[in-house]
Amino acid sequence: MGSEIITDNCTGGNFTAKSAAISAEVSPICLGDTSISTPSLRANLSWTLLGNLVYAGCQWSMLMVIAKLGTPQMVGRFSLGLAITAPVITLASCQLRIVQATDARRDYSFSDYFTARLLCLAAAIFVILAVTLLTQRDPAVIAVVMAVAAAKAFESVSDIYYGSMQQYERMDLISKSKIIKGLFSLGALAAAVYLTRDIFLGSLLLAATWAAVLIGYDALNRTRIVKQFAQEESHLMLFRNLRAAVALIWLALPLGISGLLNSLRTNIPRYYVVASQGEAQLGIFSAVTYVMVAILTVIYGIGECSAPRLGKYYVQNKHRAFLWLLVKLAALAVAVGLIGILVSLLWGGRLLSILFTPEYAKAADVLVLVMIASAATSVAAITNYAMTATREIAVQLPILASVCAATALVCSIAVPRLGLSGAAVGLVAGAVVHMVLGSAVVARGLWRSMRSR
């Protein structure tokens, strides 16, 4: 739910189009002889895909567990917590991880990144609390939202450790952390919901699990690696250089705004659903729309692997090769989307009933619309990577703003009239706008390149 539970964002190993291209531009870091070997590019890509898929599967399974053991209202409260916290945490993260991972010259220390993240998280928690108190009156809902905020905060701190590991090209350790975190958090949430039927306690245990992985795995691994390489300090010195931390936040703020808009485009329909239809309906809608996250996890993995080659073809003026690769990627995205649409048409109701409960099968028509939105969003994601490869970066913010505006406009009209189907139509509208505008920008960038040649 996107954030979904994964940060869709921002936190986690999923790069945005911009970050993937930045990574392609940075020369490999010379690590010298150490006792810690650096995995090959193929191994890193394999680990990244495995970690993302397992983590996404565990997040989806959390919703399934809550739906099976609890009620749609419990799913709705948990989803509302994610919908409120995700955009704020995403903005506060400023995508510092990709800035950190590509900081080959070590312009900023690990302590600078950590301090910047803590400063932003403090502001984010305050904003989340204020928004929750202003929009929610039920103390139980407020408690769940703040518990989810705590979990997302620990996840965001882990992201800084991931950035440090990524500097040393240890994607295997990042993926292992995600796998451990996903499996243990799924078990903890399931146990809490089964024993107490209380989603607040489940969310608290989720936060505690993520904190344990942060302290017991991520921090220890980062310290061990840095001591071996001896390129930077192995101990944290928080707030040592506030000026550097503030400069770092200012540098990365545009990436944070981009992440915020990217998170809002999937959460806007949820805001309209909970306001118009209530928490139970939000729970059903969130469960159905998480299928989109699963599909996009695969598409993003493919895009991350292909982005460097797209950039290479563009820089070398190999326009035919660029177009051919882009067409193949888009065709793959369309194929995945069409398969999803076909499956939802033939077995949507039965699938939702098996994954969740028979009550969710009533949203089979919503699933079809969500799969259409997934197909369009998948193509739009490919155009994001192509836009960055053609150096059409600044235009991505207004495109995302247009997507959010289109989604909000359609939802404001359709949700009161059509309910969950109206929210899904809003997702489709935003995805189509994104796909059309992104394709137009890519075509313009290619045309300019061909004319200049």
Is residue 258 in some structural domain?
Answer: yes
Give the torsion sign (CA, 406, 410, 411, 413).
Answer: positive
Local structure of residue 16 (DSSP, 8 states): P
Nearest CA-CA partner of 214 in 180, 188, 243, 190: 180
Q: Is residue 56 part of a domain?
A: yes
Q: Do residues 93 and 263 make contact, with C-beta atoms less than 8 angstroms apart?
A: no
Is residue 12 situated within a structural domain? no
Range of the domain at 198: 17-452
Q: Is residue 3 part of a domain?
A: no
Q: What angle do CA 420, 422, 423 make, to 5 degrees?
A: 65
Q: Which two tokens stand for residue 297?
A: 């996890």
Question: Is residue 105 helix, strand or coil?
Answer: coil
User: Do residues 375 and 334 lie in contact, with contact meaning Cβ atoms separated by under 8 Å?
Assistant: yes
Q: Would you tell me the crossing angle of helices 72-93 and 242-276 to the nearest 10 degrees?
A: 150
Helices (H) and strands (E) in the chain, counts: 15, 0
Task: For residue 390, give Cα distances in angstroms to 174, 306, 385.
Answer: 30, 14, 9
Residue 380 lies in a domain: yes
- The tens place of each residue's pLDDT in the chain, 453 residues long, gives 444 444 433 333 333 434 444 333 333 343 333 345 566 667 777 787 788 888 888 888 898 899 889 888 999 999 999 999 999 999 999 888 878 876 767 788 888 899 999 999 999 999 999 999 998 888 999 999 999 999 999 999 999 998 888 877 788 888 899 999 999 999 999 999 999 989 999 999 999 999 999 999 999 988 888 777 655 555 666 777 888 899 989 988 887 888 899 889 889 999 999 999 998 999 999 889 887 877 887 787 677 667 767 877 887 888 888 889 889 989 988 998 899 999 999 999 998 998 888 889 999 999 999 999 999 999 998 888 888 777 777 788 899 999 999 999 999 999 999 999 999 999 999 999 999 999 999 888 888 777 776
Domains contained in the chain, number: 1
Taking 3-state DSSP, the helix, strand and coil percentages for the chain, each rounded to the nearest 5, stand at 85, 0, 15
193 part of a folded domain: yes
Contacts of 345 by beta carbon, 8 Å cutoff, 6+ apart: 368
For residue 7, tell me if it sits in a domain.
no
In-domain check, residue 9: no
Nearest to 162 by CA among 311, 306, 6, 396: 6
**Token pair of 9 as six digits:** 């964002």
